[in-house]
Structure 1
Amino acid sequence: MKKRILTAILCLTVSAGLSACGSNSSAPQTPPSGETQNANAAETTQPAGDPVSGGVMTISLPASPKNLDPVKYTGTYESQIIDTIGDTLVEYNSELTEIKPSLAKSWTVSEDGLTYTFSLRDDVYFQPGKFQDGRKMTAEDVKYSLERSKEKSAMNRLDMLDHCEVISDTEIKCYLAEPNAVFLTALTDAGNIIIPKEEAEGWGDDFGAHLVGTGPFALETFELDQQATLVRNDKYWAASPYLDGVIYKPVSDGNQAVNALRTGEINLATSLSGEAVKIARDDSSVKLMEMPGLHIAYIYFNQVNGPTADIKVREAIIKAVNVEELTAGVYQYQEAKPASLPLPPGSWGYDSSLEAETLAYDPEGAKKLLAEAGYPDGFDMDIYISNTESRVKMATLFQAYLKQNLNINVNINTSEWGTFSEIGASGKADVFAMSWTWYPDPYFFLNKIFHSDAIGSLGNGQGFNNPEVDKYLDDALLTTDQAKRAELYKKALAVIVKQYPGIFYANENVNWGVSPNVQGLVQRADGKVKICTSDINVWLSK
């Protein structure tokens, strides 16, 4: 009887979620459980005829980017644009299996792991801006950019860097405070693109609306909540882009994005979810690119303030939610698989044996725990989410479970990404829900979400602080032996799971809708859209 009542509530709340907000999931990616072997294999659009130059490619994003300053960005919406405007010293290949040269031609690492020496290309030029006319990039720019990231990054993206030393215009040494196995991987992040000092300091707080880099396309205009317009950089060092330009537009409604593909208003719709996936899948005029990604969607409890600071309350809330039903309710078109751990199965640190350690759905046990914690009659609680379709549906279902099973009144607070990310980092949210996607290295999930050093950033805005976890995570950075690192991350995971920090409910796919005239596009498990690189050059057929 209770199951039938719950099913009825789920049907009602899914309808409510759909009518409340027609938008897409707040981040790309995910490897479904049990599909880890090919989780990072790239899918490519097949070229039709010889490449042609010209045309402007329009790409939709599921939410509006707030700021394009590399040290200020917090979401994939910004990074998609930043990656197209700028370059990093090194980058991942499309399969995310190895790091390859970019602005750095080569590098060496000292025996003690503390010094990285990079040899830079000598044919790289910045895009012209207001404060410089397109001058050559030098090692001084690398020093400025990386040290700026270390000092100002909203996500602590280069916290392992101590300082940089310029040896010559084309050689630079980066010194770490201690050995760190993920330094090169951290350098591939959009937050660490190389920028000219004149532009960053000349624009000051407005640099995010006037970003200048060395990438294949230059920012022409950035209209908040409207679009970012990019034009071809004719002096791009890696290749001559086929496209004249790229436009990024926020389109929060997935169905609207697919319709825009049909009419030719856009060429690529990123992060599709919900009914939009089915529409794209069934429409022969639109190509749906789907692949497992590196992604977790989760509900994160405040570890310091309010009722959820009590581990019994966190345990009760987890037991009160049927994760499989919740995931089926949010993702009705196989866009995701139920998750259980705060690390995607596509990561080499994933430990499937810990899945059995996660809490099962147990409403009666949940009520008992909540009463033991001193809340037999429930309490009021706020959950904060971005204003995207899958988050609204999830929050509505979460609200229904907690009301029915624990008499907890959940107030749902939605906002655009910029406001949400500020609330999430503040430590003041009772509960917030979002998704996280990055690289296969567990560091980019576990350290950024659970290490005490990340408290105050969006990743660990809820104040998770466990010395044993910190020790495992720190030790994992002191060796480059991946097997040893994996064991340490698995030990950290085991401790994290027993602290009941949140509900890790879904691993989403990377779902892109593509118009048939887009050629040479490569889909990646990290969700990055690469338009022009040394081995990728997207073009539009006539």
Structure 2
Amino acid sequence: MFLCLQIATAALLAGTTAEADPDWQEGRLPAAVYAGVPRIGGTLVVRLDQEPPSLDKLTDSALAIDWMLERKVLESMAEPDASKHPEYPLKPALATSWTISPDQLTFTFRLRRDVVWHDGKPFSGKDVLATVRKILDPSVRAMHLRNNFVDLEDISTAPGDDFTVVARYRKPYFLAFRALATLSIYPAHLLETAGDMLHSAIHRAPVGTGPFRFDAWKTGERITFVRNDRYWGRRAYLDRIVYRIVADPAVGFQLLKQGEFDLYLQLQPQQWVRDLDAAGLRKAVRRIKFYSPNYNWIGWNEQRPWFSDPRVRQAMNHAIDTEAVRKSFLLGLDRPTTCHFYLDSSACDRSLAPRSYDPARAAQLLDEAGWRDHDGDGVRDKDGVPFRFTFLMNADSVFLDKLTPYLQQELHKLGVEMEIRKVDWAHFVQLVEEHQFDATSLRWGNTDVVQDPYEIWHSSQIKDGSNYVLFKDPRADQLIEQARAVLDDARRNELYRKLGRLLYDEAPYTFLYSRPSLDAVSSRVRGIRPSVVWYDLQDVWLAPP
């Protein structure tokens, strides 16, 4: 009944939106955003819903860090061309050109000679070498990057030429060139004394070559960057970017109504569908909806007695009416998925539909796995262990605040008891990385359309990677390893579809949805363009009030 009422409400909200405006309805920016002569100056204030653990891409993998640093503060030898969706081919950045050997094992980059770091030191190929070597240093928490360089045989500058970098690989790897070319480069003169990075100044105060440089971080409040006036390329138009950290979406929305934000990230579905109009903000802001490579998931810790059997994990899938949840809690904005990869990629098997909501099938699977109510207390048990587990969640998640009570209710009907544990984001990340949970939920995201599932699904990544649910299957390992050596996209994606079928059957995750970026941008902001690689704020400028 509860979900039915929610669905009816969602439909009502969608139907009562103000007069039709195709751009507003679709979350598409109008042509006027890209018209006019850019104006120098001004501060762009951006809302962040969570404070990042650091500003260090070498040790921490977080979308907020990528958003703030990539192409803005830290640069790479090449970068995805955000104007060419959905292919995102590479274009020159710190490198002016490159060559790839016929066997695709040797890559040669020719670097710019007019680049300086934010602290005034000159840039050269030595910085590229130092960055790669820091990633390969086992004392550095860089497993999320190190996996891309396991087959690197050698990287050096050309004899007598510090502006030519040559990398040689032992065997083919489909991401070898792109991973190296798009690697954010750090200054060698600071890496020399950075140790494991965690206690270095550049862990929180990065030094790059990009159009913006780090200014200040006031913990719990804001992170500020200012224009780099010594930038080698076209200078940014904005004087300053301020990321204000406001976790509470209700508080954030009130500040948006007061004109405190120029770019508001991650509106709640109801705020995007109804509240912007209800608050009279249609003229003050523009809506943005864009689907990037991401998906939400519920993960079941396979070392816990309840979730070691795939039949139980499949039962958890059948216990959740994911379509009703999508239409009610998310107002139908998210796209259902059963795939690890970018939803528009041929790596996804379109025939794998989300498992149906089927409590009877869930109960049958639990019975088959031996989880029955043997002692008549209303709770299923097996070998004397009652089916009681705890769902760990980030206390700031509005979506999980709605989903977990619903899941708790549905599982109770099946004789499964679920407790809900809410912790702050920093503690949550620590517990998940240490596998200290029974079940949890996160969202994986990427700022590139080309992905390698190795870090998340290969069994070697249980210790230091992102295989948090402790998934271990030799068949999956073999498919992942085989795919890494296949350079042809079609053949590799065929292997990934086989991996997708295996993950579907084993059900280590309950795949939920690919979530759109639901953002709002002030009507005075010009030149902003959403893409898989987020927003290129170098192009953004502010029209007069």
SS of 2:389's equivalent?
Answer: strand
Residue type of the partner of 2:363?
K
1:68 aligns with 2:55: yes
Gap change, CA 1:243 and 1:485, over 3 Å in 2: same
1:90 match? 78
- What's the TM-score once normalised by structure 2's chain length? 0.84
Task: Describe the shift of the 1:43–1:169 C-alpha distance in structure 2 as closer, same or farther (beyond 3 A).
Answer: farther
Report the secondary structure of 2:420's partner residue: strand
Structure 1: gaps (5+ residues) = 15-37, 129-133
Please identify, of 229-238 and 453-462, the stretch whose mean Cα deviation from structure 2 is larger: 453-462
CA contact (8 A) 1:158 1:186 kept: no
In the alignment, the residues of structure 2 paired with residue 96 and residue 399 of structure 1 have an alpha-carbon distance, to the nearest angstrom, of 39
Tell whether the 8 Å contact from 1:258 to 1:513 is kept in structure 2 after alignment.
no
Q: Which is greater in Rg?
A: 2
Give the structure-1-normalised TM-score.
Answer: 0.85
User: 157, 160, 169: which is aligned to 2:162?
Assistant: 169
Moved more, 257-266 or 346-355: 257-266
- Corresponding position: 1:539 with 2:541: yes
Deviation at 1:109, TM superposition (A): 2.0
Report the count of equivalent residues. Answer: 495
Moved more, 194-203 or 430-439: 194-203
Letter in 2 for 1:476: A
State the superposition RMSD in angstroms.
Answer: 2.6
Question: Does residue 314 of structure 2 align to residue 312 of structure 1?
Answer: no
Question: What secondary structure sits across from 2:33 in the alignment?
Answer: coil
Is 1:58–2:67 an aligned residue pair?
Answer: no
Q: Does residue 144 of structure 2 align to residue 142 of structure 1? A: no
Residue 247 of structure 2: aligned partner: 252
Question: Secondary structure in 2 aligned to 1:326?
Answer: helix
Tell me how far apart the structure 1 counterparts of residues 234 and 448 of structure 2 sit (CA, whole Å). Answer: 28
Q: CA deviation at 1:193?
A: 1.4
Residue equivalent to 2:114: 123
On the 8 A contact 1:218/1:233 being kept in 2, the answer is yes
| Aligned partner of 2:355 among 355, 359, 374 | 359
**Structure 1 residues 440 and 91: alpha-carbon distance in aligned structure 2, compared to 1, 3 A threshold:** closer
Identity percentage of aligned residues: 25
Letter aligned with residue 178 of structure 1: K
Gapped regions of structure 2 (runs ≥ 5): 11-25, 373-378, 381-386
Contact 2:3 2:324 in 1 (8 A): no
1:184 to 129, 152, 177: 177
Kindly provide the CA deviation profile for residues 491-523 of structure 1, in whole angstroms up to 9, marking residues without a partner as x: 111111111112111111122110111110110
Q: Structure 1 stretch 254-263 or stretch 173-182: which is displaced more?
A: 254-263
Distance 1:125 1:392 in 2: 47
Aligned residue among 185, 189, 196 for 1:194? 185
Cα 1:71–1:215 shift into 2, 3 Å: same
1:337 to 312, 318, 335: 335
**Structure 2 match to 1:391:** 400
Deviation at 1:199, TM superposition (A): 2.8
Contact 2:528/2:537, CA 8 A, preserved across alignment: yes
1:464 aligns to what? 471
The match for 1:371 is 367
* TM-fit CA distance, 1:188: 6.4
Shift of 1:262: 3.5
| Match of residue 530 from structure 1 | 536
List per-residue Cα deviations over 1:133-153 (Å, max 9, x = no partner): x11111111111122224435
Q: How does 1:434-513 map to 2 (within 5 A)?
A: 434-438=442-446, 441=449, 443-444=451-452, 446-457=453-464, 459-513=466-520
* C-alpha deviation, 1:308, in angstroms: 0.6
Distance 2:184 2:30 in 1: 26
1:361-406 per-residue CA deviation (whole Å, 9 max, x = no partner) reads 22122123223333322322122222221232222322222223x2
Superposed structure 1 runs of 4+ greater than 6 Å apart: 41-45
- Offset at 1:306? 3.0
Distance 1:54 1:222 in 2: 21
- Offset at residue 154 of structure 1 (A): 4.1
- 1:280-291 aligned within 5 A: 280=276, 283-284=281-282, 285-291=284-290
Offset at 1:296?
0.9
Relative contact order, higher structure (CA 8 A, sep 6+)? 1
Amino acid at match of 2:47: S
